[in-house]
Amino acid sequence: MKVVISGYYGFGNIGDEAILSVSINLLRSLLPDIEITVLSAKAEKTASLFQVKAISRNDFSLITSEVKKADLFISGGGGLLQDVTSRRSLYYYLALISLAQYYKVPTLLLAQGVGPLTSKSSLKLLSLVLKGVKSISVRDKPSATLLETLGYKGKLLLTADLAFLLKPDYLKGAQVLESLAINNKPYLFLSPSRALDRPSIVESVIQTVLFLKEEYGLEILVVPFYPRHDHFTLELIKNRLKDRAHYVEDCFEPEVALALVGRSEMIFSSRLHPIISAAITEVPFLGISYDPKVDNLAKELGEGLTLPLSKVKPADMIYHSIKIYENRAEIKARLKKLLLPLIERARLNINIIKEFIN
């Protein structure tokens, strides 16, 4: 069986690479001899990392050739179908779905985050393309609600982000920590993003992490989940923290990133997948909310673990950080309880893949 997978792969975004890793593992667990082709921004790197065939996501001649031969086309997961980042991105993914439909290749939208969509033309085009898709699984309730509002008539399954099924590689994680000389020390995991690129916001984060370092003896580990995109914020943080923190800037396997999160005492992040990683490993976190997808997840993980961007000020951050850190045991227990239904929902994606394979 030949499967083509499309998503935001090969750009060095650890969250999207985690989704791809889980997708490949699920497919191989169901059909060990399956042939997988991934559309990637860095095909050689993707092929090497995941042991799949990978082709350039911009070579439409080659993409057409692969799709024509495929038995299944998978779009997802992640937040692909939105026009906030750019309409061009939305049109790209919808064009690929339309290409598969043109060649009558069964198409599955897997663990998608749908929206936000800001224009009537985007909504109309999405509705038109999805009429030819028989099954869609979405990662959150607002995505399901949007598709229902658009009048989608196919099979719609509420699941969860595929990254909830990722497994940490603690052996490699320990090697990274040993190279930084913090393998036996408690540390705070800070994952910056471009959402924090205002100097006043960065300063609030800096003052908070330095307070925690002084008050509780925590080392500071800075790991961007999307280095290319978050470079400016990372440089602002490095210029302030200098050698008072440790840095891992290279893009590496998502399983290793998950292990580094899992070994930490607490997480600071404004990105979705570091927060998912914290939930998976039951590590207390303070999420900075700037995007609906962060808000959607925060609602499922309980109150008091996120701050809106407008409240990122030293006093507010330090107050919430102390409260979270000193109630770690209670929060860990809560995350463990709330994590189970999210994992079960994520595993529902296995059932929908089975239907296509069978």
> What is this structure's pTM?
0.95
Tokens of 120: 């009537």
Quote the Cα angle for 213-335-78, to 5°.
95
Residue 99 lies in a domain: yes
The answer for residues whose C-beta is within 8 angstroms of residue 48's C-beta and 6 or more apart is none
The domain boundary, picked from 158, 190, 223, lies at 158
Q: 228 by DSSP, 3-state: which?
A: coil
10 Å Cβ neighbour count for 326?
Answer: 12
Closest CA relative to residue 15, chosen from 109, 80, 82 = 80
Span 158-180, average pLDDT: 96
Residue 183: per-residue pLDDT: 92
Residue 349 lies in a domain: no
pLDDT in tens, 90-118: 999 999 999 999 999 999 999 999 999 98
The domain boundary, picked from 98, 127, 158, lies at 158
Per-residue confidence band for 291, with pLDDT thresholds at 50, 70 and 90: confident
Residue 260 lies in a domain: yes
CA 141 to chain CA centroid, Å, is 17
The domain boundary, picked from 100, 123, 158, lies at 158
Residue 304: per-residue pLDDT: 77
280 & 187 share domain: yes
Range of the domain at 216: 170-341
Whole-angstrom CA distances from 39 to 6, 43, 54, 241, 342 are: 5, 7, 6, 38, 28
CA gap 113, 269 in Å, rounded: 20
